[in-house]
Amino acid sequence: MEKLLIVDDSIEIQKQLRWGLGKDYKVLPAANGREALGLFRNHQPSVVTLDLGLPPDEDGAEEGLRCLQQMLQEKPLTKIIVLTGNNERENALQAVQLGAYDFYQKPIELGELKVILKRAYHLAGLEEENRRLQNSLGSRKAALSGMFGQCPQMQEVFTMIRKVSSCDVPVLVLGESGTGKELVARAIHERSLKKDGTFIPINCGAIPENLLESELFGHEKGAFTGAQARVQGKVEFAHKGTLFLDEIGELPLSLQVKLLRFLQEKSIQRVGGREDIEVETRIIAATNIDIEKAIRNGDFRDDLYYRIGVLTISLPPLRDRGEDIILLANLFLRRFGDELGRKIRGFSPAAVEAIQAYDWPGNVRELENKIKRGVIMAETSVLDPAELGLSEPHPPPVAEALPTLVHQMESLTLKEARDRLENDMVISAIQKQAGNIAKAAEVLGISRPTLYDLMKKHGFHQVS
């Protein structure tokens, strides 16, 4: 159960809050600053309600503000909600400027306070999770040669990289576009026996077919129109190093034959040449296509596949990597914030939900681009979904949810069904809007007073 520190010298308010909130939180009451700081240090609550008028300054705010500053100095991310009277608004605003999370004017209406508390705990939980993920960025287990990941799939990839690096055999890296296949190839090279040699990448799908042979194997002077000098190809440049053939699935069949010959004989001939040139290089290939399907369709030679796929590493898509998505989002946020000189503190709760809900068809590369966009577009120190180019998550269409809803309500009377639907819609709207009553009312198409009436009618303790 979450801990809630209530700091108020009024015994009546303490009793009211303990009675109204005791089912949801472990309430820690304190009547003065000394008691409050003692409980704060012993229990480390993430949320505090604080009355500024504490003894010996019950009619002022000096003691309450001192208590606020001390708590934030010891635990800066604590969400402190200031409870204040109508004539103390200026003190409350000063408290917010000093770092208080929010303020709430007395008299206390438990339904409204519960909304504020729920939102505060939600945000505190997200910040704690972000902090834990950020701390893990520097761990050896979560990082390898510029790649980061804690999910089981990425841990398996890291293990494979460490194992295959010392074996001087071809490696085939499989994965969707944007998953980091070149990073894997570079990580293998950096740990291989040829790490002192050159890493030469070439994208087989980005070079026109009539130029690709020359790009790979080089050409002799006069080999074709415009060949005014001898030129070495990428394969020769990779001598004693590593040749990375990205998107090898796009390699034309005619060049697949010549690449296979090189892998078998360890020698090449430049275009227009007759001399065999011995080349010692490690081959790492990558593709985002279904290579076995390409073989069945006759688009890729099976003998070449067996040569380049002695060892295979499969990269998972970002959507299947769980918490790694937020881990990487924080990494990119920190990196681009430093590069662009922007002080961005983090993501809003809605942004975190949008990042987690998005399918990421472009994988890590798309995430990187969207975070960079967000840092550039940011209006405040916290990024929201719109700045990232993401829409806020929304519930499934009514048509999809209707069969389940009807089944659940078959045994209810019309009034009971209406009340349950009304209750569920109120709860859902408030949760989706992170406790913002005005936005929730707007989504529901009703006024704020009407929404407050519905909250009282159904009892806000039902929110989970």
Q: What is the pLDDT of residues 92-114, one digit of tens each?
A: 888 888 888 888 888 888 888 88
Three-class SS state of 83: strand
C-alpha 113/C-alpha 320 separation (Å) is 37
**Could you tell me the two tokens for 434?**
């992170």
Nearest residue to 381 (alpha-carbon basis) of 339, 343, 413: 343
Average pLDDT, rounded, for the chain: 85
The per-residue b/e assignment along 262-292, b for 16 or more CB within 10 angstroms, e otherwise, is beeeeebbbbebeeebebebbbbbbbbeebe
pLDDT for position 399:
44
C-alpha 456/C-alpha 410 separation (Å) is 26
- Cis peptide preceding 56, ω within 30 of 0: yes
- H-helix segments, 208-273: 209-217, 234-237, 253-265
Contact in structure between 54 and 91 (CB atoms under 8 Å): no
> Is pLDDT at 397 greater than 80 in this prediction?
no
> Is pLDDT at 461 greater than 90 in this prediction?
no
pLDDT for position 319:
93
Span 241-258, average pLDDT: 94
The rounded percent of the chain whose pLDDT value lies above 70 is: 88
Q: Which residue has the tokens 């950020």?
A: 134
> Is pLDDT at 458 greater than 80 in this prediction?
no
Nearest residue to 39 (alpha-carbon basis) of 85, 12, 78: 78
Nearest residue to 232 (alpha-carbon basis) of 264, 204, 271, 286: 271
> Is pLDDT at 412 greater than 70 in this prediction?
no
- Please tell me which residue, 130 or 280, carries the higher pLDDT value: 280
Number of H helices, E strands in the chain: 20, 16
Pairing of strands 311-314, 171-174: parallel
pLDDT for position 135:
57
Contact in structure between 221 and 229 (CB atoms under 8 Å): yes
pLDDT for position 115:
87
> What percent of the chain is helix, strand and coil (3-state, nearest 5)?
50, 15, 35
- 0.75 exceeded by the pTM? no
User: Could you tell me the domains of the chain?
Assistant: 3-136 (3.40.50.2300), 151-316 (3.40.50.300), 319-388 (1.10.8.60), 400-462 (1.10.10)
Pairing of strands 26-30, 3-7: parallel
Neighbouring residues of 399: CB distance < 8 A, sequence distance ≥ 6: none
pLDDT for position 209:
83
- Residue 86 pLDDT level (bands cut at 50, 70, 90): low
pLDDT for position 256:
94
**Could you tell me the two tokens for 89?**
């608004």
Q: What is the pLDDT of residues 25-68, one digit of tens each?
A: 999 999 999 999 999 999 999 999 999 888 888 888 889 899 99
Q: Hey, which of 212-226, 239-253, 266-280 has the most confident mean pLDDT?
A: 239-253
> Is pLDDT at 450 greater than 90 in this prediction?
no
Three-state SS annotation for 93-154: HHHHHCCCCEEEECCCCHHHHHHHHHHHHHHHHHHHHHHHHHHHCCCCCCEECCEECCCHHH
Span 337-366, average pLDDT: 88
Span 196-218, average pLDDT: 90
Q: What is the pLDDT of residues 125-150, one digit of tens each?
A: 877 766 665 555 554 455 677 788 88
